[in-house]
Amino acid sequence: MAKTAIISIDGHVKGSRSGYRDYLPAKHLGVYDEQVKAAEEAGTPDAGNLHPDFAPDVQWDSDLRTSELESIGVVAEVLFPNGQPFQTNRLDDFANPANIELGEIGRQAYNRWLVDFCAKSPGRRRGQMVMSFADIDRAVADVFWAKEHGLGGIALPGLTRDGKFYFDSGLDPIWAACVETGLTISQHGGGIDPNGPRGSGDIRATAPGFGAFMMLSTENAFFSNRSLWMLIVGGVFDRFPDLRAAWVETQVHLIIPTISYLDRVCDSDWMGQFSIKPTIKHKPSEYFGTNIFVGLSPFSPRQDPTGDVLGKDADGERKPGFHIGSVPLMYGVDFPHFESCFQRNMGEVATLVTTPIITDDEAHHILFDTAADVYGFDVDALQPDIERVGFEVSDIQARPDDFKRDLPEFNIDHITRGIGGFGRRPTAATTA
């Protein structure tokens, strides 16, 4: 049987502090150097969100990164940022610069660096351009620039108080450019209330630390997915039926009830009493698998014990109502974030391919096929690498315990000052 491999739709990269200097305008180097000096004097590591078992250079050392990922059967990645020049918030996916000007300079520098980083592994990386919607004409030009320079998609910016709702027709030229270039738009998790308090970034094993972490974790599911229902109910997919969008690591526990609610509204006339009628062409759930795709990161059937995501009961029978199903789903490793499933990846794969309600075809689509299609990977070009680093699903199914034996429980002890971790095997990148 032919081998398969994993396309991880959730990878994170950044350049080193020194490496970013080559991508910054000369007139901004003084300010940048001062910021770097202050960070180094404060003992802030050049790391971003990084699991402590990895050295920071696993993010920008192309060969090291490839070697680590190939060791767990990952053949290609979709890449999001893990830190940009002038970013002042260390662990957030969305940069928070000191001012608008520096934010824009940092964004442009990161995108130029990303082009060069992806070019070091041709055909195996789909870097997502960091986008700003502040200037529509500039945003449209950026989309075409991303396509011309080999980037693999557009990372949607976070919604801000001064920005536009994503169904605002003023953004239509951007969606049109994405359709014309064939670039998928992606919303990565990490969205927070732009009007709320910033809180503390010092997440520790204290009551306030736990409370802050759980609040952010819970509310992330709302704020990161707001763009999803905006694009649906605002008719963006009707105006641009070829536009494809992915929501990556945004959590799914709000998607299913929200889309179910919107389906009920569109199926009923109860809003008619307020003279409000549905104007979209399809039920909200019907955009999934054609326009809308979901990256579960880290993916595990253990996250879906009742079958609500897959929409199947214990006997494999279809459950009533809206469920995401297997067609839109994609697999993410979230490398090298602290919450990555890297250390337990093949155990998770074994769990996936031996779950009775998941067929072999569905497993292949979740692991590889859907991401290859959504993000435009050349499958034929990847075949030599798949043969070299991939695996046969039947082999894993024949001896799942060999892969699950060292499957550690997921925990966040390493960020809450607890004892223990993922039970990761040592590698060349291990520093702890």
Residue 331 host element (H or E) = strand 329-331
- The SS3 assignment for 167 reads coil
d(Cα 29, Cα 21) in Å, to the nearest integer? 7
d(Cα 218, Cα 211) in Å, to the nearest integer? 10
Give which of 335, 254, 331 is closest to 300, Cα–Cα: 331
Go through the chain and tell me how many residues it has. 432
pLDDT for the residue 409? 60
d(Cα 344, Cα 333) in Å, to the nearest integer? 10
- CATH of span 6-415: 3.20.20.140
Determine contact, residues 53/431, Cβ cutoff 8 Å.
Answer: yes
pLDDT for the residue 306? 76
The tens place of each residue's pLDDT in the chain, 432 residues long, gives 689 999 999 999 999 999 999 999 999 999 999 999 999 999 999 998 999 889 999 999 999 999 999 999 999 999 999 999 999 887 777 888 888 999 999 999 999 999 999 999 999 999 999 999 999 999 999 999 999 999 999 999 988 888 899 999 999 999 999 999 999 999 998 777 666 665 544 544 445 566 767 777 788 888 899 999 999 999 999 999 999 999 999 988 889 999 999 999 888 876 666 667 788 999 999 999 999 999 998 667 777 777 889 898 888 889 999 999 999 999 999 999 988 999 889 999 998 999 888 999 999 999 999 999 999 999 999 999 999 999 999 999 999 999 888 676 654 443 333 333 333 333 333 222
Report residue 74 as tokens: 């990952």
- The SS3 assignment for 23 reads helix
Determine contact, residues 146/111, Cβ cutoff 8 Å.
Answer: yes
How many CB atoms lie under 10 A from the CB of residue 205?
Answer: 13
Determine contact, residues 10/80, Cβ cutoff 8 Å.
Answer: yes
Give which of 124, 77, 118, 100 is closest to 331, Cα–Cα: 77
pLDDT for the residue 272? 63
Q: Which residues of 322-338 are buried (b: 16+ CB within 10 A; e: fewer)?
A: bbbbbebbbbbbbbbbb
Compute the chain's Rg from CA coordinates.
Answer: 21
pLDDT for the residue 205? 44
- Between the two ends of the chain, the Cα-to-Cα distance in Å is 39
Long-range contacts, stretch 86-93, CB < 8 angstroms, 24+ apart:
86/31, 86/32, 86/35, 88/35, 89/201, 90/44, 90/47, 90/48, 90/49, 90/201, 91/48, 91/49, 91/201, 92/190, 93/12, 93/49, 93/188, 93/189, 93/190
CA dist 341 to 8, 69, 77, 186, 326, Å? 11, 11, 14, 21, 20
d(Cα 116, Cα 136) in Å, to the nearest integer? 25
Enumerate the β-bridge partners of residue 13: 81
Residue 94 host element (H or E) = none
